[in-house]
């Protein structure tokens, strides 16, 4: 038997806080070291984090399960 688990409010908050911290660190790095390849890599990292945040948000709203667990009943 499988059980679908959805994100809680705290998992949503943690995901958003981590994303904001990473964006702040990347922005600070890009201000100090404006290299072209850092812009591309930073954009990719930020986009991946935003996709993860959207996935966690949809799970929090109950649209998609965050993960599935098999029970050993």
Instruction: Write out pLDDT tens, residues 14-61.
Output: 999 999 999 999 888 888 887 778 888 888 999 999 999 999 999 999
The tokens of 10 are what? 């705290």
Q: Is the pLDDT reported for residue 73 higher than 80?
A: no
Quickly state the pLDDT bin for 2 (edges 50, 70, 90).
confident
Pull the structure tokens for residue 17.
């806080």
What pLDDT does residue 50 have? 93
The structure tokens listed for 37 are: 């390849």
């Amino acid at each position: 038997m499988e059980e679908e688990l959805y994100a809680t409010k705290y998992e949503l908050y943690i995901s958003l806080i981590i994303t904001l911290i990473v964006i702040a660190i990347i922005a600070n790095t890009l201000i100090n070291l404006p290299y072209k390849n850092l812009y591309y890599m930073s954009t990719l990292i930020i986009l991946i984090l935003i996709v993860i945040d959207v996935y966690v948000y949809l799970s929090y709203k109950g649209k998609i399960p965050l993960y599935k667990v098999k029970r050993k009943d």
